[in-house]
Amino acid sequence: MSKIKPAKGSPYARILGVGGYRPTRVVSNDVILEKIDSSDEWIRSRSGIATRHWASPEETVAAMSVEASGKALADAGVSADQIGAVIVSTVSHFRQTPAVATEIADRIGAHKPAAFDISAGCAGFGYGLTLAKGMVVEGSAQYVLVIGVERLSDLTDLEDRATAFLFGDGAGAVVVGPSNEPAIGPTVWGSEGDKSETIKQTVPWDQYKTGDRFPAITQEGQAVFRWAVFEMAKVAQQALDAAGLTPDDLDVFIPHQANMRIIDSMVKTLKLPEHVTVARDVETTGNTSAASIPLAMERLLATGKAKSGDTALVIGFGAGLVYAATVVTLP
């Protein structure tokens, strides 16, 4: 018989607060068109993107995360010294080690929390949320800060007609804590490594030692579109099934803000009722990878398009290819 004492966690976990940070510089499609042969109409029709935010040198991955985290903590009514773990999802923090989560934890005033980064691309927020839920329920942390943050402008090839217009910068954060009722559903997640070449960094860091072109993100647009529309709708439905819900039970749908056409196609495939509010933050924020879901969540709540207590389906998907979907109660 095991001598290990059972953990003393909470029966359930929930999102208690959300915060977002968008860089001050707003970049129109006209700026993108300076280096690619395209048009504003083509970009809008292919992606739905009109503008995106690009970070200044001072708006680092850590700095943006600190701003978003402060808002999430205030929204949750939780102090930084109550945070037991900081989880950061990012692919654009250029130091392999130490994790940027440790710097963020120190800057917000957290007291010796567990702190680590995860690399799960555009699904990273969902991965982090699932880990946070487990920590709260298991009892290793009472409150967990989950951050999705990207400076994808650093990894954008402005001469690549297929991707130059897609990416933006920003940070989104949530505080996950105890709940007396289910408020974060079971997660449906996974990967399809045979498709890893469809979204990737052009040059590995070790090859850059002798290379003359900085690494950038590239993707096979049509292959990713087909995968996202057809396969991710199935995953979203599985998340609903796991939560014991139907599309009619939803108030809000917050998919990864990859592309407006993908979002609209998923809405159609899932047959979401008209009363469901759909996040379309991509139009003015672009694709911010791991930051896109919490940023979209924050904007919906701030503008009143969604409200506290709403039931939301969230799904992220991207490089790997990886994905994660769950149903949550909005803070």
Whether 289 and 127 have beta carbons less than 8 Å apart is answered as no
Sorted by sequence, the CB contacts under 8 Å of residue 219 that are 6+ apart come out as 162, 163, 198, 199, 200, 319
Catalytic residue (one of 29, 53, 93, 122): 122
Spatial separation of the C-alpha atoms in residues 14 and 176, rounded to whole Å? 6
Give the number of other CB atoms < 10 A from CB of residue 222.
10
Query: Choosing from 29, 256, 259, 275, which is the catalytic residue?
Result: 256
Both structure tokens of 149: 């943050």
Summarize the chain as % helix, strand, coil (round to 5).
40, 25, 35
3-state secondary structure of 261: helix
Whole-angstrom distance, CA of residue 184 vs CA of residue 176:
10
Q: What is the spatial distance between Cα 248 and Cα 233, in angstroms, rounded to a whole number?
A: 16
Q: Is 29 a catalytic residue?
A: no
Q: Assess contact for 148 and 171: CB atoms under 8 A.
A: yes
**122 assigned to active site:** yes
d(CA 165, CA 174): 28
Distance CA 25, CA 137 (A): 40
Amino acid at 225: F
Structural tokens at position 27: 């970049």
Contact 225, 299 (CB under 8 A): no
* Structure tokens, 97: 């080690």
Whether residue 53 lies in the annotated active site: no
Q: List strand residue ranges (DSSP E) for the chain, in order.
A: 12-21, 25-28, 51-54, 83-89, 114-118, 143-151, 169-179, 188-191, 199-201, 217-219, 252-255, 277-278, 311-318, 322-329
Q: Annotated active-site positions, please?
A: 122, 256, 287
